[in-house]
Amino acid sequence: MSQSPRIQIHYFTDVLCIWAYLAQIRLDELIKNYSSDIEVTYNFMPVFGHIQNRIGDGWKDKGGFEAFSKHMHKVCKDFPHVELHKDIWTINTPKTSATSHLFIKAVQCLVNNGTISNECREECGQKTLLEDFIWEVRLAFFRDLRDISQMKVLFEIAKSMDLPTDKIQEVLDDGSALAEFSRDIELRDEYNIEGSPTYVLNKGRQKLYGNVGYRIIEANLLEILKQPAMEASWC
């Protein structure tokens, strides 16, 4: 009997989204429990594409970046499993998340074309190399307060992980990474994604957006797994 194909999950986030940072533990748990049943594709959307507009102007009447920082700390009080720098969003503030997304897509290109192996890394809790890199980029901002809108910072992270920075530069230069990032934006629009993080399951029939609990995510997945072929999901 042939094995059923794994369920495709598109996971849309912005690396500067606090909710995606907090929710990483749920995604890790889902992958740990259902690694043989699912295939997660990492897609990125520029929720924080223009940070001055989103926070500097958008939060101007509420207190600007300092107020946004206090809001982040308030949010994280209920999530003790993550670290948040005390000066988050007040110093070393990135200008955009798009630089990080483009760089991540460059790494993803090298994984997809076989230049680098995407094997699971035991020292990183069984994250694949790509998953580990995405997580290190998030940590660089939220925990370490590094400006991840700067290419030099992203190259430093890549070097610390022994990634081939010359090959990364090649796919940045030849447009491959930008093409993949552009495709993410197209998929965002095709699936009508509202924000970060969002799980897209069942070919777009099921979307889970925001601070969704693990049991809800799991229930949606299990409903798909138990459905007979060609039967519509009841979720």
SS3 label, residue 3: coil
CA dist 27 and 34 (Å) reads 10
* Amino acid 121: pLDDT: 59
Q: pLDDT (tens digit, 9 = 90+) per residue, 5-50?
A: 889 999 999 999 999 999 999 999 999 999 999 999 999 999 999 9
| Burial zone of 234 (CB within 10 Å; 0-12 exposed, 13-18 middle, 19+ buried) | exposed
pLDDT of residue 196: 97
Going by C-alpha positions, the residue among 119, 116, 96, 111 that lies closest to residue 44 is 96
pLDDT for res 84: 97
How confident is the model at residue 60, as a pLDDT? 96
Q: Is the pLDDT of residue 229 over 80?
A: no
Cross-strand bridge partners of residue 214: none
Do 107 and 137 form a contact (C-beta atoms < 8 A)?
Answer: no
More confident residue, 164 or 123: 164
Q: Buried b / exposed e across 44-67, counting CB within 10 Å, b at 16+? A: bbbbbbebeebbeeebeeeebbee
pLDDT score of 125: 55
Distance of CA 169 to the CA centre of its chain: 21
User: Domain 7-225, what fold?
Assistant: Glutaredoxin (3.40.30)
pLDDT at residue number 227? 72
pLDDT at position 230, please?
47
CB–CB of 9/40 below 8 Å?
yes
Facing residues of 47 across strands? none
163 token code pair: 């990634």
Contact by Cβ (8 Å): 210, 199: no
Question: What is the predicted pLDDT for the residue at 3?
Answer: 59
The answer to whether the CB of 110 falls within 8 A of the CB of 169 is: no
Residue pLDDT, tens place only, 159-194:
999 999 999 999 999 999 999 999 999 999 999 999
Buried/exposed code over 109-127 (b: 16+ C-beta within 10 A; e: otherwise): bbeeeeebebeeeeeeeeb
pLDDT digits (tens, 9 = 90+) for 66-106: 999 999 999 999 898 999 999 999 999 999 999 999 999 99
Give the per-residue pLDDT at 231: 52
Q: Which residue has the higher pLDDT, 114 or 226?
A: 114
- List the domain boundaries for the chain: 7-225
